[in-house]
Amino acid sequence: MKSATQPALIFPETLSPATQALLDRAEALCTHQGARLTQQRREILGLILSVNAPVGAYDLLEQMKSPDRRPAPPTVYRALDFLLEHGLIHRIERLSAFVPCTHLLHDDHAAGCDHDHDHDSICLHTAQFLICRSCKSVIEITNPSILEAVRATCREQGFVIQSTSIEIEGLCAQCASQRKTPAHHHL
């Protein structure tokens, strides 16, 4: 229920139908998980989905400001924590920014876990990112063999995984094609 002092969302009419559909899908996923995508959480997720680039918490605060509204940083951080916890966004540590989880774009995501594993263990989605050092674009990739290699190494060490994020820095195809010097491979 919206209080009389809380202004309406400042942007829903500017969201594309595709973004609105993703927000509805996110809401269904939260409901499936027994959680609630509040109006504020939905607004923040909508902003992240609309930007098409990694966005920082203070950038979100700026976008949410209006003459009658100045959200506080803890409010945004609590919403971001919720969105992270429920797998709707990822934090790009290298950039101190957030991006939507591309798995939200798939129809089967709202149904919950979509892969085979022992359900006594954690359902682990490994965030794997290619980060362009030049334009700062971020591409989320999915390579199950990377997750399996991480799991095997952790089992060997007796290490219990709680979350994973793999960030690979380099140049995106567009920036690499604009570069005049040959690529250097550092592995």
- The rounded mean pLDDT for the chain is 81
101 annotated binding-site participant: no
Residue 137 and residue 27: Cα distance in Å, rounded? 27
Residue range 115-182 in CATH 3.30.1490.190: yes
**What are the residue ranges of CATH 1.10.10.10 in the chain?**
11-113
Identity of the residue numbered 115? H
**What are the residue ranges of CATH 3.30.1490.190 in the chain?**
115-182
In this prediction, residue 114 carries a pLDDT of: 46
Q: How confident is the model at residue 13 (pLDDT cuts 50, 70, 90)?
A: low
Q: Residue 56: pLDDT above 90?
A: yes
Give the Cα-Cα-Cα angle 153, 113, 36 (nearest 5 degrees): 120
pLDDT digits (tens, 9 = 90+) for 77-133: 999 999 999 989 999 999 999 999 887 765 544 444 444 433 333 445 677 999 999
Q: Could you please report the per-residue DSSP string of 93-104? A: GGGTEEEE-GGG
What's the token pair of residue 70?
């100045």
135 annotated binding-site participant: yes
In this prediction, residue 122 carries a pLDDT of: 40
Residue range 11-113 in CATH 3.30.565.10: no
132 annotated binding-site participant: yes
pTM for the model stands at 0.75
